[in-house]
Homo-oligomer: A and B are copies of this chain.
Amino acid sequence: MNQDTTKIPQATAKRLPLYYRFIKNLYSSGKQRVSSKELSEAVKVDSATIRRDFSYFGALGKKGYGYNVNYLLSFFRKTLDQDALTKVVLIGVGNLGTAFLNYNFIKNNNTKIEMAFEVDESKVGTQVGDVPVFHLDDLEEKLEDQNIEVAILTVPASSAQNITDRLVSSKVKGILNFTPARLTVPDHIRIHHIDLAVELQSLVYFLKHYSEDDTEMSQDGIISE
């Protein structure tokens, strides 16, 4: 791939997994080509945005023809490194953590939760969604000989920073933070933060302050201004 994908806008990059999933579905259903309008209706992102996103990767489509599904699929597979599996660790096997473990990520993705950690002794030693649950005390030891770069944090906010510090000392490079805590990390660690309360309050705010046809909003959590 000669395209320098590191230069695409991050908002575009964030939509790639979404495009990939639907292109895979199209491919499975035997579809050979797709228009930006059809894609738009499926992924709920306006077609101008789709065309702009795709343009960063060069001329993927042809006017009046649309996009070749097979080409798109192999393109996105390469771009998203679908052939390389990323190992993930999950900390905190509460309700939210259990939801993650039962969610079959690998079906649509190149990520796999390898192991989970918990302090509740009744869960330690069990398997949840085929993922082994270890005691949090053994975190460093278990991570040592694994090549795990991503952690999902579903612990109480009060222990989030302490566990983050321990993850940072290991090889973890990215954290998906579901706690309300704002974490302090070195610059080389990337954190994506998803706060359920903020998401809910944000929806309420938009309902009250933005009329229905005021602005187009994509469904993928990215708001187009």
A60 within 8 A of partner (CB) = no
- Contact partner of A13 (CB less than 8 A), chosen from B14, B81, B205, is B205
Q: A212 and B194 in contact (CB under 8 A), knowing A10-B217, A152-B200?
A: no
List A residues 183-225 near B (Cβ within 8 Å). Answer: 183, 187-215, 217, 219-225
**Interface residue? A168 (CB, 8 A):** no
A6 (CB) vs chain B CBs: closest residue: B209
Give the distance in Å from the alpha carbon of A43 to the alpha carbon of B100 in the complex.
26
Would B192 and A202 count as touching, CB distance under 8 A?
yes
Query: In the complex the two chains form, is B105's CB within 8 Å of A18's CB?
Result: no
Name the interface residues of A62-92: CB closer than 8 Å to any CB of B: 80-81, 86, 88
- CB neighbours (8 Å) of A132 from chain B are none
**Which residues of B sit under 8 angstroms from A99, Cβ to Cβ?**
94-96, 99, 196
Q: Which of A204, A210, A215, A224 has the most CB of B within 10 A?
A: A204
Is A36 on the interface with B (CB-CB < 8 A)? no
- The answer to whether A102 and B95 have CB atoms under 8 Å apart is yes
A16 adjacent to chain B (CB < 8 Å):
yes
A150:B200 contact, CB within 8 angstroms: yes
Q: In the complex, which residues of chain B have a beta carbon less than 8 angstroms from the beta carbon of A44? A: 182-183, 191, 193
**Do A86 and B195 touch (CB < 8 A)?**
no
Question: Are A217 and B190 in touch, CB under 8 angstroms?
Answer: yes
Q: How far is the CB of A87 from chain B (nearest CB, A)?
A: 10
The answer on a CB contact under 8 Å between B100 and A98 is: no
Residues on the B chain within 8 Å of A196, using CB: 99-100, 103
Instruction: Say if the beta carbon of A109 comes within 8 Å of chain B.
Output: yes
- The residues in A between 8 and 46 inclusive whose CB is less than 8 angstroms from any CB of B are 9-11, 13-14, 16-18, 21, 42-44
Q: Which residues of B contact A108 (CB under 8 A)?
A: 180, 197
